Amino acid sequence: MNQIAAILIDGIIYSSWLFVIAVGLTLIYGVMKILNVAHGSLYALGAYAATAFGGYWIAQGHPPLGSYGMLVVAAVAVGLTAGPLIERGLLRLVYGKEEVVLVLVTYAVFLILEDLTKLAFGVDPLSIPQPYGLLGSIEVGDLIYPTYSLVVVLLSVVVGIGLAMTLNRTRHGKILQAVIHDREMAAATGINVSRVYLVTFTIGTALAALGGALTAPTISVQPGIAAEVIVLAFAVVVIGGLGSLGGAALGAVIVGMVRAWAVHKWPEVELFSVYAVMAAVLVMRPKGLFAVPEARKI
Amino acid sequence: MPRDRTTRILLGALLVLLGAGPFLPKWAMFMLNVSLSWGTVVLGMMLLMRTGLVSFGQGLYYCLGAYAAGVSYAKLGIGDIAVMLLASTAVTVAVSAVLGLLLAKYRDIFFAMLSLAFSMILFGLLVKTSELGSTDGFGLSVASVAGVPLAEGWDRYAVFASAVVVAFGAALGMQRYLDSHTGRLAGAIRDNELRVEYMGASVRRVIHLNYVISAVLAGLGGGLVGITIGHVDPEMAFWTTSGEFVFIAILSGTGNVLAPFLGATIFETVRSFAYEYSPNTWQLVLGITMLLVIVFLPGGLWSVFTRRRTP
């Protein structure tokens, strides 16, 4: 009984984290049809920025509670700089090429950002442990969880609901849906598609960076985290169906629960299980669980 | 007659490399050895790309091939290069024949993602398999070639010569295959699958066959690299390894069977020097090169040679 509860809680925590790191990827794919390999690097940039901003804040002797704000500031800063830079400086030049070519372009961006991060922050592991320890822990029965995990869960719910509301309830969301549905038609009705792309990519970048900034207090931030995270994010969005918000949530829950189960019951297959699920879903539903059927255009 | 020239260049390269091998300094032999093995892997990727498919999971077969060779040595006590490479071939044929049934239905990014998932499954398995050394992998060595025991000091050359022969055989075989009826369908499938089906050819069967061929080449390349370095580890199946193959394939282009070897040699040379002098900007250079090639040289480096001749 206790173990089931532990699996469930671990699963929820891990799922929330997965959702935050993957949702930007699915958003960008949905609107721009770009499977962004560089998403992992933007996550890493967010984590590095969090150590820099948070570290500076604490070194200045400000109240440590403010370091949470600094995590968000770091994510927004990365989003507002790297997002437009990549979209305007590079992606704009290659729109209209095949999807696979776009994957390769973002893979090149991934390689470039890997080294730029190393040049900017060095190769030694960095950390920003304060926000993690500050909140103490909560007891659930005889299980103890850090309160920080609860923050991540809440934040992922807020991000998810916020995105869903924006998409379905606001003018900007409707415009975005129009672009997703038919880019040319949307442009013909006077929507500035180029700006929609810019804003989408910036938001997606900020979400990736937010994932990194949230994770930074719990890990040691070092080269290599980008490559690990991007394949996990791929697994999540591919399971749910590329471009689907609900799909990303479902994918995150599935991967999160499977991994939590594996960690408790069968630790040898922990890493394996995630990709086994991904392969199984792709085999049974090649376009993911929530994929929208596509009308064939001539 | 460009076709004749390719065969002649290949034969010339075979003789020169085999003849010059014993006089090469150790580092040059090692670098050429790795380049030839990687070229063999990329030759397989080139076939897939001609079919219009980009695999982000070629590391699966690269790693399987290397582990098959490694297990032959470390667990079964067989140190014969030919037998080890046969083991690599057998394992990759078996696995790719099964997975190919599934993958032949996939295109574009879904092909890339599913192949990536399979390679990450292998990575996840190997990392947790303590019998095969977990994350550290294990070491291997060689003792004979096709039954002939190796004299003292000749093992390096034997490995090198095997790589030369395998690469030569792969390139020549690929050249023949691309000129055959089935081989020519690759480009047709990339252009328009429907038309190929209307002509009466089975798209799935061709893709399946090409997939198995590319897997075997990746397996042989992996086996050779394992033997050359004397060590195998799960990192060979990680997606970044597959990414490097994709990079070389893009850099080389799909124009000619010689292109992957040229690309792999340039890649390995630049990498060796970059590791030495500037380890933290190496990927930066890679990324920028890749962008430049994609935007300005969509046909890869090889198209520089052929550009003037094709109107």
Query: What is the reported pLDDT for A292?
Result: 63
Per-residue pLDDT of chain A (298 residues; tens, 9 = 90+): 678 888 888 889 889 999 999 999 999 988 888 889 999 999 999 999 888 888 888 788 777 777 788 888 888 888 899 988 998 888 888 888 888 888 889 999 999 998 898 888 888 888 777 777 777 778 877 778 888 888 889 999 999 999 999 988 998 888 888 888 888 888 899 888 888 999 999 999 999 999 998 888 888 888 888 888 898 898 899 888 888 888 899 999 999 999 889 888 887 777 888 888 888 888 888 777 876 666 555 5
Across the interface, of B239, B286, B294, the residue whose CB is closest to A231 is B239
pLDDT given for residue B311 in this prediction: 43
pLDDT of residue B60: 93
Give dist(CA A63, CA A29) in Å, integer. Answer: 39
d(CA B46, CA B217): 11
User: Which residue, B176, B177, B237, B168, is CA-closest to B51?
Assistant: B177
Q: Residues with Cβ < 8 Å from A10, sequence gap 6 or more?
A: A260, A263, A264
Query: Residue B283: its chain A contacts at CB < 8 A?
Result: 111-112, 114-115
Contacts of A47 (CB under 8 A, 6+ apart): A212, A213, A215, A216, A219, A221, A225
Contacts of B290 in chain A (CB under 8 A): 104, 107-108, 111
A111 with B283: Cβ contact below 8 A: yes
- At residue B180, the 3 state secondary structure works out as coil
Nearest neighbour of B286 by CB, restricted to A105, A111, A227:
A111
Question: Do residues B55 and B242 lie in contact, with contact meaning Cβ atoms separated by under 8 Å?
Answer: yes
pLDDT at B309: 53
For residue B12, is it within any domain? Answer: yes
Task: Give yes or no for a contact between A32 and A169, defined as CB atoms under 8 angstroms apart.
Answer: no
Residues of A in contact with B116 (CB under 8 A): 231, 234
Coil, strand or helix: which one is A145? strand
| CA-wise closest residue to B52 among B99, B97, B108 | B108
Residue B267 lies in a domain: no
Alpha carbon B245 to chain centroid distance? Answer: 7
CB B144 within 8 A of CB B72: no
Q: Quickly list DSSP for A237-292.
A: HHHH-TT-HHHHHHHHHHHHHHHHHHHHH-GGGHHHHHHHHHHHHHHHSTT-TTPP
The residue whose two tokens read 């790795």 is B34
Which chain B residues have a beta carbon less than 8 Å from that of A114? Answer: 283-284, 287
**Can you give the pLDDT of all 311 residues of chain B as single tens digits?**
445 688 888 888 888 888 787 888 888 888 888 999 999 999 999 999 989 898 988 999 999 999 999 998 888 888 888 889 899 999 999 999 999 988 888 888 888 888 998 999 999 888 888 888 888 888 888 777 777 777 777 788 888 888 999 999 999 899 889 888 888 888 888 888 889 888 888 888 999 999 999 999 999 999 999 999 988 999 899 988 998 898 889 888 888 888 889 889 988 888 888 878 877 888 888 888 888 888 888 888 888 777 655 44
The model carries a pTM of: 0.88
- Give SS3 for B279: coil
Token pair 């025991």 in the structure block, residue: B149
Which segments of chain B are extended strands (E)?
Answer: 138-139, 144-145, 148-149, 231-232
Domain total of chain B: 1
Q: Which residues of A touch B124 (CB under 8 A)?
A: 269-276
pLDDT of B205-230, one tens digit each? 999 999 999 999 999 999 999 999 98
CATH number of A2-284: 1.10.3470
- Asked, for residue B295, whether it belongs to a domain, the answer is no
CA distance B261 to B269: 12
Chain B residues with beta carbon closer than 8 angstroms to that of A90: 291
Closest Cβ–Cβ partner in A94, A115, A242 for B281: A115
Q: Which two tokens stand for residue A99?
A: 């999807």
- A229-238: buried (b, 16+ CB within 10 Å) or exposed (e) per residue? bbbbbbbbbb
- Cα–Cα distances (Å) from B55 to A26, B42, B241, in that order, read 21, 11, 12
Range of the domain at B33: 2-237
Comparing CB atoms, the residue among B112, B238, B247 nearest residue A103 is B112
Q: How far away is chain B from the Cα of A60, in angstroms, using its nearest Cα?
A: 31
A and B: number of Cβ contacts within 8 A: 120
Which amino acid, residue A139?
Answer: E
Mutate to test the interface with B, among A29, A117, A275 (most CBs of B within 10 A): A275
Rounded Cα–Cα distance for residues A120 and A112 (Å): 12
User: For residue B284, what is the nearest residue in chain A, using CA coordinates?
Assistant: A112
User: Where along chain A do its domains lie?
Assistant: 2-284
Residue A104 and residue B294: Cβ atoms within 8 Å? yes
Nearest CB partner across the interface for B290, out of A104, A119, A273: A104
User: How many CB atoms neighbour CB A294 within 10 A?
Assistant: 7
Q: Name the DSSP class of B258.
A: T
pLDDT tens track for B72-97: 888 888 888 888 989 999 999 999 99
**Does a structural domain hold residue B46?**
yes
- The pLDDT value given to residue B1: 43
DSSP state of A91: I
